[in-house]
Amino acid sequence: MIQNEEQGNVAVAVEDTTAILLREGERLAAAGKRVIPCQKKKPTLPHWNQEGPNPSIEDIKRWMDGGGFDGIGVVQGSVSGGEHTLDFESIAIFNSFTLEAERLDIPIPQPLCLVKTGKGYHLPFICQDLKVGFRPLLAGDADGKPLIELLGEKCYAVRAPSAHPSGNNYRLLNGDQSNLPILSLDQANRLIDICRSLDKRKAKPKAEPKECTPVVKLQPIKPINIKDSEYRYTAQDVRDSFNSQHRIEDLLRSAGYSQHKSGHWNHPSGSGADHNTISNGTHVTLLGSKDRNLSSIFGTSSSSGGKTFDCFDFWATVNNFSSQKEAIIAASKMMDMGGRKTDIAGGPSIPIPAKDIPIASPAVAVESKTKTKPEANSNNKKKRKSDLICFNTVEMVAIEWLWSDRIPRGNISMIYGEGGNAKSQIALSIASTITTGGVFPDGTASTMGDVIVVSGEDTLASTIIPRFVSTGGDTSRIFALPMITLYGEDGKPFQKAFSLSDLPHLEDELIDTPEAKLVIIDPVAAFMSGVDTHRDSDVRQILTPLQQLAEKYNVAILLIAHCNKAKGVKASSRVSGSAGFINAVRSAFLAAPDPNGDGNILAHVKSNLSKIQSTLNYQSVETYVSSNGKQFKTSKVEWLGESDTTADEAIAAADQVATPCDEAVEFLQLILKDGEPRNVKDILKSANLKGISQATMYRAADKLKLEKQRDGYQGAARWRMEKVITSQQSIFH
């Protein structure tokens, strides 16, 4: 009976995989890719690389119905819109590639699409100008297999979730196989040059068993028996040392998990129903059904149906090690725990503490560093051009200001605040002043120029344009960028939503708009799809190229952002997401209610290039605009002069706003302060007149731990304060 159930489950799994392959094939075909069926990584069509129209979705369905395949591939090159793929033989090689790219300050293509193969990775991208076929980029070992290959014209690349001959499946680790990063020819050539320049010994470090812990038949709990006790540490030593030097919370955050207010840890996808939990501060139990880490070879199954990981197992899982042996070897080398025992009396040496280990994705996986012997001939050392810039070769330039001492050109600035504080209206007011060469609210003059608006929340025709017109701005000098245009294989254009990974398109618009002085991105989080905005490194990876674009075209970029829910912190710590936002911008402003007067304030929170400027007072007012004989209701900002309120004062006042329960508590303290019992019905009636609900009053009574009385059986209920609290003892004093 058990055997039949297992066979039935296998049949269902195969059927599900076929359905997934069909859906993925349809998606790729709809994106203009030439999709082909594969069996054991090989195309099943005899003429898959010949000229002709791409297979239709109906063709793909027909293949699926016919069977005889276990995967799908995409023909590379012009037939698939210029798709190319970098094929990395192993994790270590890809790791060396990313480290070298970081050293040279060359960004990895975004939005990053990464496919896990048998032992390595596929990194696909689009470059329509790269007209090359197969290229071995890094030579391999004696077997002749290249360590890095470029798959181009007349080549094909197998795509997830196809089967791999190893028994595993190709896995999509990041991104979307139908929405690949678009590179210029120069960008693509730079990535190719990185691959060609990698040193073989760094790209594929050899894990020699006699130089690290032997891990034959490694089990997660039982230590390895070391023959003749000739090695310094057992596999269990390595695991214990790793676990003692890391916290599971830090590893979860680095992998993109976030802690919910309930104490559970949400999956990076944002699901709040996973209920992943930490026990004893050392282990995490993953329960989310969509969490790919549950299929890991590491960790132990839990009674709740999930899987439990210690620090070592979780680190090994996220870094995609293919075996316990591979993970133990890598960890032992990183912590200097490999090699034989020393000859020093007293036993093995104390391990060196492990360095910080980035584990967010395979793109930043840890490189297993090995020591290499120096070159015997110094003439063999590869020559390179220095990247250092001597100070005496750089001519100093003065800072140019879009808004004097507030918003610098060639840099990123930001306005942030809670919803409803007219942040977008402030940005349009600033844009209006620039398009007309008018005067800013503090009396400083503006240089006339064009403005580009990238908005992800408000509609253009019904909200943004009426608001801008109400400010008196010049509509011929302001432009919106809601979508970007791409071209398919047939030369026909199609559009997709803009994101900050599409900066080359924004650069093209800046080239075509030479008078542009300001770019507004509202809100910035809406254009960071696929980016963990709570991780500083991820935020920097997006904002650094944006800063470089601002410098290149001497344009001011103004980000609009929301506030987080933190309480009792300074204004500079209230920006939603990572601290990378407030740290990356050169000038930042808080939009908030004015606790010391009417209206709102725009307070200068941060400035790296000038002193903090005065706070400005404003209010959002209703108004009407006319167009083609019709009137449209809208709103705009009216500037009211300067205010003495600081950003920190505004935040502190907002944090102290009483909740309905707080108001109910104070109400009860007032009427029960004499210690006499009061009829509950009378109390609730009085509270209702003050707008306090019955449910809120009961919560307040529980909070104060009131003495509850009753006049006999089924008599009137009464509340009494157990301890008299004077007004000076109120929770608001």
Same domain for 424 and 550, yes or no, is yes
140 and 250 in a single domain? The answer is no
Q: Are residues 199 and 213 part of one domain?
A: no
What does 487-543 look like in DSSP terms, one character per residue? Answer: E-TTS-EEEEE--GGGHHHHHHHHHH-TTEEEEEEESGGGG-TT--TT-HHHHHHHH
Q: Is residue 397 part of a domain?
A: no
**How many domains is the chain partitioned into structurally?**
4
Q: Is residue 261 part of a domain?
A: yes
Q: How far apart are CA 367 and CA 385, in angstroms?
A: 25
* CATH code of 691's domain: 1.10.10
Q: Are 248 and 334 contained in the same domain? A: yes
Q: What is the pLDDT of residues 563-616, one digit of tens each?
A: 887 777 788 888 988 888 999 999 999 999 988 877 899 999 999 999 999 999
Domain contains 576: yes
Per-residue pLDDT tens digits for 247-281 = 787 777 777 777 766 566 777 665 444 556 676 55
What residues have CB less than 8 Å from 625, skipping those under 6 apart?
Answer: 466, 469, 470, 631, 632, 634
**CATH code, domain carrying 42:** 3.30.2250.10
Tell me whether residue 377 is in a domain.
Answer: no
> Is 559 strand, coil or helix?
strand
Of 565, 113, 30, 116, the residue nearest 317 (C-alpha)? 116
Contacts of 722 (CB under 8 A, 6+ apart): 705, 706, 707
Q: Please give the backbone phi and psi of residue 557, each rounded to the nearest 5 degrees, phi first.
A: -115, 125
Query: Does 123 share its domain with 187?
Result: yes
Query: What is d(CA 478, CA 109) in angstroms, rounded to the nearest whole number?
Result: 30
Q: What pLDDT, on the 0 to 100 scale, is given for residue 211?
A: 30
Would you call 113 exposed, middle or buried from its count of C-beta atoms within 10 A (0-12, 13-18, 19+)? buried
Q: If pLDDT is split at 50, 70 and 90, which confidence band does 143 have?
A: low
Range of the domain at 591: 408-655
Q: Is residue 374 part of a domain?
A: no
Asked whether 24 and 71 are in contact (CB, 8 A), the reply is: no
Asked if the peptide bond before residue 161 counts as cis, ω within 30 degrees of 0, the response is yes
Q: What pLDDT, on a 0 to 100 scale, did the predictor assign at position 159?
A: 92
Last residue of a domain, one of 175, 203, 231: 203
> What is the model's pLDDT at position 200?
45
Assess contact for 35 and 81: CB atoms under 8 A.
no
Q: Which of 590, 636, 596 is nearest to 613 (CA)?
A: 590
Task: Using pLDDT thresholds of 50, 70 and 90, give the confidence band for residue 412.
Answer: very high
Closest by CA to 555, choosing from 417, 465, 447, is 447
Percent of the chain residues topping a pLDDT of 70: 79
Average pLDDT of the chain is: 78
130, 82 contact by CB (below 8 A): yes
Which of 655, 675, 704 is where one domain is finished?
Answer: 655
Tell which of 604, 628, 655 closes a domain: 655
**Which element (helix H / strand E) includes 42?**
strand 42-43
| pLDDT value of position 732 | 31
pLDDT at 431: 95
- CATH of residue 613's domain is 3.40.50.300
Angstrom CA distances, 677 to 379, 671, 722, 724, 726, stand at 96, 10, 10, 12, 16
The answer to whether residue 694 sits within a structural domain is yes
For residues 169 and 218, membership in a common domain is answered with no
Q: What is the pLDDT of residue 730?
A: 34
pLDDT over 80 (residue 315): yes
pLDDT class of 383 with cuts at 50, 70, 90: low
pLDDT score of 51: 73
Here the tokens at position 366 are: 């840890």
pLDDT at 45: 81
* pLDDT value, residue 343: 34
Q: Are residues 187 and 215 in the same domain?
A: no
Structure tokens at 263: 């104490």
Q: Are residues 143 and 287 in the same domain?
A: no
Q: Is the pLDDT of residue 555 over 80?
A: yes
My answer on whether 339 and 223 are in the same domain is yes
Tell me: do 46 and 94 sit in the same domain. yes
Whether residue 160 is predicted with pLDDT greater than 80 in this model: the reply is yes
**This prediction's pTM:** 0.44
Whether the Cβ atoms of residue 418 and residue 650 lie closer than 8 Å to each other: no
- Calculate the alpha carbon distances from 224 to 209, 231, 330, 578, 642 in Å: 13, 11, 16, 43, 72
Question: Shortest CA distance to 315 belongs to which of 338, 293, 344?
Answer: 293
Backbone angles phi, psi at 580, to 5 degrees: -60, -30
CA distance 584 to 578: 10
Is residue 562, in this structure, part of any structural domain at all?
yes
Alpha helices in 154-226 (DSSP H): 185-197, 200-203
Q: What is the DSSP letter of 436?
A: H
Q: What is the model's pLDDT at position 213? A: 29
Q: Are residues 9 and 98 in the same domain?
A: yes
Sheet holding 277-279, edge to edge: 277-279, 283-286, 307-310, 300-301
| 3-class SS of residue 89 | coil
Both 493 and 638 in one domain: the answer is: yes
